[in-house]
Amino acid sequence: MKDACNQFRDSLADMADGTADAATVAHVNSCQSCLIIVNDLKMIVARAHQEWFTAPSEWISAAKALMPETRKIFTCHRLQLRGIAPARGPVDEFQIVVGTDELSLRLMATPTDTGWNIMGQFPSSDWEMEGQPNVTISGPRFQFSAKDLSETAFELVSMDTILQVPPMNRLIRDDSI
């Protein structure tokens, strides 16, 4: 590489993505070895752009379906129930504790004008919630609304575990889950 080339070496990448100054453009247009480097860089830039192109959602779903699910999946049982008079069923606010042998999760259900509001707390900060489109997350708490207790199923997901929480109507009614 000639001395003149060294001077422009750092700006060749600018040339590849179209932001080079006039001096760099002039040098590259008159220097075969720098032109070859710029052409290589252009190919790399073009490939990088392709990789970041947003895939259609059906491609993403198809790709996800091909990946094996390696996380452990647990279904929560009912551990405790407070605030429901058996004769009346769930008409007022109630609390339910659900979980597995290792994890428990306290949920509060509050009746609203349009159904129910469900509030809970993540076991720790590395969990995410899935399965409820209108969830609101604020710090360690999550809450969502549902028209009916039968529409309150969700999942808490961490790197290695999926915790399935059945809908409240089943958790209340069924002593075996």
Q: Which residues bind Zn ion (CB under 5 A)?
A: 5, 31, 34
What span, in angstroms and rounded, lies between the C-alpha atoms of 177 and 174?
Answer: 6
What span, in angstroms and rounded, lies between the C-alpha atoms of 149 and 87?
Answer: 17
* CB nearer to Zn ion: pick between 40 and 130: 40
Please report how close the Cβ of residue 17 comes to Zn ion at its closest, in angstroms: 18
Q: Is 18 left (phi over 0), alpha (psi -120 to 50) or beta?
A: left
* CB nearer to Zn ion: pick between 16 and 146: 16
Please report how close the Cβ of residue 45 comes to Zn ion at its closest, in angstroms: 19
What span, in angstroms and rounded, lies between the C-alpha atoms of 156 and 165?
Answer: 8
What span, in angstroms and rounded, lies between the C-alpha atoms of 120 and 141?
Answer: 6
DSSP string, 92-111: S-EEEEEE-SS-EEEEEEEE
Please report how close the Cβ of residue 49 comes to Zn ion at its closest, in angstroms: 25
Please report how close the Cβ of residue 44 comes to Zn ion at its closest, in angstroms: 18
What span, in angstroms and rounded, lies between the C-alpha atoms of 141 and 98?
Answer: 16
* CB nearer to Zn ion: pick between 8 and 142: 8
* CB nearer to Zn ion: pick between 34 and 168: 34
Q: How many residues does the chain have?
A: 177
